[in-house]
Amino acid sequence: MFTSLRKYIFTDVDGERSTIPLCAYCFMTGFIDVVCFSAIFVWCAFQTGNNIQLALALARLFNGQHDYSFHLADRQALCSLITFIFGAFIGRIGDRMGCKTRAWLSLGTFIQTLFTMAAAIAIWKSGQASVADQRSNPAWTNALSFVCVGFMSASMGLQGIMGKRTNTQFTTTVVLTTTWCELMADPKLFEFRKLVISRDHKILAIGSLFLGGFLGRALLDAIGSAGTLGVATGMRFIISIWWLFVPAKDPKQ
């Protein structure tokens, strides 16, 4: 029995039949990112923006005004970038376990759950507000808010590398700029008489992220940052269980 169970959980899932958990990943990107951006105007998943923000911070040293201060927003962006990379590095554990196995996909998502829970506790303990009224007046400013940003970004980094390793049309499930470009370039974009995985899964990814952002902000206004991240923790846990039931890849394929 133990041998059969071990074989089951260490079997690779079928990427084409992993649509629901991967859509849920994209949903979580929008859901969690909106919490971070609404409070400090820094992304915890879209690291392109944080890279450019840090480049602008460095450029200020040479603009003739001699501004050598490291602004709060820049420190928050750096925190997000570093912890995102840390989370992505943790994802390399999957290379040893099998990056497409039920065992790793479930365990990795459970680690994301713990990171999200830690972020919820940190921002709850911080006593900070949830929504900033303008960029010059962020809602999160104390040390615990940095802890929250770090754990949120780490969860996104881990999710990103796990999404990438599944090698599906959902790509990283974190950044969808490439997904938009690939969708527009898809030669079957206007074939409406049948399902086209290369097109339809990209549309699902984009729509799931948008829905996550919309519902995340609605929930944020209702129950605040800590409550919204608490809900995100529960959803991540459900996704971690869901991976255990995704069908295996057909060995003949």
In a domain, 140, yes or no: yes
pLDDT exceeds 70 at position 171: yes
Give me the pLDDT at residue 251, please.
65
Do residues 220 and 131 touch, judged by C-beta distance below 8 A? yes
Residue 10 covered by a domain? no
pLDDT of residue 250: 72
Give the residue, 214 or 193, on which the prediction is more confident. 214
- State residue 145's pLDDT score: 95
Share of the chain above pLDDT 90, in %: 69
- Confidence band, pLDDT 50/70/90 cuts, at residue 153: very high
Higher pLDDT, 16 or 104: 104
CA distances from 252 to 14, 18, 100, 249 (A): 12, 18, 17, 9
pTM of the full structure: 0.93
What whole-number distance in Å separates Cα of residue 85 and Cα of residue 65?
32
pLDDT given at position 47:
92
Taking only the tens place, the pLDDT of each residue in 175-188 is 888 888 988 998 88
pLDDT class for 215, splitting at 50, 70, 90? Answer: very high
Cα pseudo-dihedral 232, 233, 236, 240, rounded to 10: -170
State the pLDDT at residue 197.
85
Residue 69 has pLDDT above 90, yes or no: no
Whether the per-residue pLDDT at 253 is higher than 60: the answer is no
With H, G, I as helix, E, B as strand and everything else as coil, classify residue 13. Answer: strand
User: Mean per-residue pLDDT for 216-236?
Assistant: 96
Q: Average pLDDT for residues 32-61, to the nearest whole number? A: 91
Has residue 9 been placed in a domain?
no
Question: 194 pLDDT band (50/70/90 cuts)?
Answer: confident
Q: Is residue 196 part of a domain?
A: yes
Does the residue 6 lie in any domain? no
Q: Give whole-number Cα distances, 233 to 85, 118, 206, 223, in Å.
A: 21, 9, 22, 14
Has residue 1 got a pLDDT over 90?
no
37's tokens: 């951006």
> Residue 57: its pLDDT value, please?
85
Confidence of residue 62 (pLDDT cuts 50, 70, 90): confident
Q: pLDDT value at position 64? A: 67
- The reported pLDDT for the residue numbered 173 is 93
pLDDT at 3: 83
Domain membership flag for residue 7 = no
208 in any annotated domain: yes
Count structural domains, the chain: 1
| The predicted structure's pLDDT at residue 137 | 87
Structural domain that includes position 64: 18-245
> What's the pLDDT score for residue 67?
67
Q: Residue 212: inside a domain, yes or no?
A: yes
- The whole-number average pLDDT for the span 20-46 is 95
- What is the average pLDDT across 2-8? 86
Return the pLDDT at 249: 78
CATH (domain of 203): 1.20.1250
